[in-house]
A and B are shown apart, each in its own frame.
Chain A
Amino acid sequence: MRFGVVVFPGTWSDCDFHYVISEVLHQPVKYVWHRERDLADLDCVVLPGGFSYGDYLRAGAVAGRSPVVEALRDFIARGGYVLGSCNGFQILCEAGLLPGALMRNECLQYRCQSTHLVVDNVETVFSRGLRPGRVLTMPISHGEGKYHADAEALRTLKAGNQIVFRYAEADGRVTRAANPNGSLENIAGIVNPEGTVLGLMPHPERAAETAMGSADGLLLFQSLLGSLVEDGSFLKR
């Protein structure tokens, strides 16, 4: 599978995703500059963490209107996969590619800590192969990660089974104490209705090797790669 890791001015998880994809997963990967519009040779585009354009207006607001994100619409329509983590999730919401918004953490401080995520939906390309209710360990690192959606959007998310990950205790219970940023219903990650665009605040690339404390993040990629084997139609482009 051919991966592209997008680089905006101010992106900093780009090298980490690149390292995990090339050195841990041994998949072809290249950097994609924010001004590029040609994504034809890619199967999966990664929007990494960071402070794109300094996040000075609103996290992800400027990047959400950048040439590469405009090109993503067509890429997604043609069946391409998109994984947005941290700032990437914020950008996907700002671009309207995922519903809802990410607001300032309830504690009003930046939070970098390990979190547990319970898997709600195992029918996306990023979570297939996982057992429903399985708990993954992945760190977060953000100041604006409080997921918010209005009542109707939330109903739609639930009806479409679009909530993939929720912050939970180590045993999988979804509690207020396990919610690190005040996200609505402990939502940590969601997909589009087609299940091909995943946005999540946690950092799977920081949990991709046992040396880093957890390799659970790798499961998202393995799920994605595994789906390719089962369903070769993905490569039809």
Chain B
Amino acid sequence: MTGAPPKVTLDLARDSGLTAEEYERITSRLGREPTYAELGLFAALWSEHCAYKHSRVYLSRLPTEGARVLQGPGENAGAIDIGDGWAVVFKIESHNHPSFIEPFQGAATGVGGILRDVFTMGARPIALLDSLRFGDLDDPKTRRLVEGVVSGISWYGNCFGCPTVGGEVAFAPEYAGNPLVNVMCVGLVRADQIVLARAEGVGNPVFYVGNKTGRDGIHGATMASATFDDSAAERRPTVQVGDPFTEKLLLEACLEAMKTGAVVGIQDMGAAGLACCTSEMPARAGTGMDVELSRVPQREVGMTPYEILLSESQERMLLVAARGREDEVRRIFAKWELDAVEIGRVTAGGTLTARLSGEVVAHVPLSLLAEAPKYTKPTAPPGWLTEPLALDPLTLPEPPDYGEALLALCGSPNIASKEWVFRQYDQQVGINTLVLPGSDAAVLRVKGAPRALAVSTDGNGRHVFLDPRRGAAMAVCEAARNVSCSGATPVGVTDCMNFGSPERPEILWQFAQAIDGIAEACRALEIPVVGGNVSFYNETNGQAILPTPVIGVVGILEDAGRRATQWFKGAGHRVALLGPDHTSLGGSEYLWRAHRRLGGRLAPLELELERKVQAAVRAAVSAGLVTAAHDCSEGGLAVALAEGCVTGRELVGLEAALDASGRGDQVLFGEGPSRVMVSVEPARVREFEALMAESAIPWRWIGTTGGDRLVLRLGTKTIVDVALDRIERAWRSGFERHMA
């Protein structure tokens, strides 16, 4: 150790991100000033990123229980029973701040972190999904960020060997100063072999396994708990550097070690690194831990206890083994050429003791360290909503040419093909991917079982901005609807809540409303939330992002062979629209593309109807009655139909007559929940009609596939008549042309 550690004062505590009240609470409970290393522990573990200080009171409103739930929030990831002895383990996490500072490594280590969260549970990762938000694509800086983030994800996921099967990419100016990188990972494990992050068993040895510790990423957790200003680039050293090869070795070694039964508990050293693991693992088990920091494998010389505890070097785990089985663990990690060093023991004291060469550098009660203060800060509806909500989109002029308006929407970067992104990701390793990226949900088989899993992520920041409660509920509905369109029954939710600073009452109001919306929708659809992540402080120079809850939904497809995709399969199929006619141009992609306006009110959401529509779609798919099923989302019904025509292997035309009661732009491009378009072969029409009658939902036939044009009528008036190759060109080039 070089030099004496700095003297701990209130000023130093404030610089570390603690408030005066928090510091006072620490000193009074300890009965002394904390040591420098202890201050580091509190600053990290009491940061918003680790402690959810501002969000915990709201998160408790989410429904987290269900008959299939094996593990809810509070562990590395959630777990759901999918039958035949299998469990699906999944979670979504953000890596927004690091990705803005250093897009490639920020995004790459985001992938690395969520993979570890899943395989620490004993599950083998089988799929990744990325939910990305950037500023306007016309800004060259955005293109640089997109390239960096996508290549970072590609590099890490591909080298590690987990397929990227879905996600979304969207653009809005509000994300320019704060792009969002949310990564969801899905893994499979035998239900009776789930491993938890608990330091059980006094006397059990504590192993440090994986990569060596360096000075990278120190203060990552506190960095993610503050807003940015123009000096963001100076924080590049707080971003970690990833090594997907080592992560792959760590995966194999961990799963092999777990199989022996010698592993009692294990946790990823993610945010706040060793500090977090050595306090959370014993805190969960009601034990304590005593560790010797000089034994931690290090790749830099002269690291202080503070640095060793708070380093966020990647690809590391803390593993508690069963006493007497140390050699089994060592042997397996040696086979994979990884460090596995015993650094301490589980103790009975309820305290964390960290030593450096025997000398105690931190000695704190876990009841204090692991119990950060909970805040209920003031909330207030934002004044900034009055003007946008007063906008009536129908006072704006209709487009002069509906065909051109549709082409412009299909070519909007938010709707256009994301093949440029997905072709950089391995989508198939593991040979489970039955439906590749490009349909409503990705579908993955479960080898050795008849069933498959369907997964989707969704979240529309514009909708949530205008109405956080309904917008967030609609995000849950849409992600679930995507899964239902594949034929699968949604069984679990993971949520990533991306918001501005919770210290602003308006932002906290958005957050609280969004949580209520998610809770309502999850209750109505009977899908528990089994894990997630809150990312606050997504603002730069006082400009917050659009409030963006990203919802990941996992569903079970009982028969892997009975599934649907979004594109039409041939000519002569009847096309139906299931669900209500209500839509709105408020917050729609059309309103932004055509008029550059973000305003208006959202369409109504009836959760009971939503539930029934999804059930009807699932019933139709599982009975083999539909040849395509596609959710109507951004761009409305017209875009959903156009996507049915051009996103499959072959172009399939369509002639359809739409509800003539509204204005053209609202009927074609209006957005609203609970709407699904399906296609049905002529021979199955009677059966389909009978099924719809039973389901008691509003629905109607709107057209028939065939030809090489998309023709849309309002009543008898043709308002769109466009050749499919033009639509396809617009859709294929709309995003990619910006990246050339």
Chain A interface (Cβ < 8 Å from any Cβ of B)? 9-10, 12-13, 15-16, 19-20, 23, 49-51, 53-56, 109-113, 139, 141, 143, 203, 205-206, 208-209, 211-212
Contacts and interface: CB of A to CB of B under 8 A. Distances in A.
B560 A211 contact: yes
A7 to B, nearest CB: 9
Contact of B245 (A16, A54, A141, A203): A54
Interface string B225-268: 00000000000000000011110110000000000000000000
Contact of B428 (A55, A109, A110, A203): A203
A113 B48 CA distance: 41
Given A9-B337, A110-B158, A141-B158, A16 B249 contact: no
Contacts of B427: 112, 141
A144 to B, nearest CB: 11
B425 A112 contact: yes
B425 A206 contact: no
Instruction: Please list the 9 inter-chain residue pairs (A to B) with the smallest Cβ-Cβ separation, ordered nearest first.
Output: A12-B161, A54-B245, A51-B159, A141-B426, A16-B431, A110-B424, A112-B426, A206-B428, A110-B154
Contact of A211 (B423, B426, B445): B445
B428 A12 contact: no
Interface of B: 151, 154-155, 158-161, 243-246, 248-249, 336-337, 422-431, 433-434, 445, 447, 560-561
A208 B428 CA distance: 12
Given A109-B424, A212-B431, 16 more contacts: A9-B248, A9-B336, A9-B337, A10-B245, A10-B248, A12-B160, A16-B429, A16-B430, A49-B429, A50-B161, A54-B159, A54-B243, A110-B155, A110-B424, A112-B424, A212-B433
Contacts of B245: 9-10, 51, 53-56
Contacts of A209: 431
Given A9-B336, A111-B423, A112-B424, A141 B431 contact: no
Task: Specify which of A9, A13, A16, A205 lies most central, judged by the most chain B CB atoms within 10 Å of its CB.
Answer: A9
Nearest to B425: A112
A141 B428 contact: yes
Contacts of B154: 109-110
A212 B434 contact: yes
A20 B432 CA distance: 12
Nearest to A111: B423
Nearest to A180: B423
A54 B154 CA distance: 14
Q: Is the interface of A mostly helix, strand, loop or mixed?
A: mixed
A233 B524 CA distance: 67
B428 A139 contact: yes
B147 to A, nearest CB: 9
B428 A143 contact: no
Contacts of A109: 151, 154, 423-424
Contacts of B151: 109
A112 B428 contact: yes
Nearest to B452: A211
B158 A143 contact: yes
A211 B159 contact: no
Task: Specify which of B158, B244, B428, B445 lies most central, judged by the most chain A CB atoms within 10 Å of its CB.
Answer: B428
Contacts of B422: 112
A10 B430 contact: no
A157 B487 CA distance: 50
A46 B638 CA distance: 49
A109 B426 CA distance: 12
Nearest to B160: A12
Given A12-B161, A16-B430, A110 B425 contact: yes
Contacts of A112: 158, 422-428
A15 B430 contact: yes
A220 B646 CA distance: 33
A23 B431 CA distance: 13
A169 to B, nearest CB: 15
B349 to A, nearest CB: 40
A56 to B, nearest CB: 7
Contacts of A15: 430
A203 B428 CA distance: 10
B248 A12 contact: yes
A47 B269 CA distance: 33
Contacts of A56: 245
A200 to B, nearest CB: 16
Nearest to A108: B151
B434 A211 contact: yes
A11 to B, nearest CB: 8
A29 B429 CA distance: 19
Nearest to B435: A213
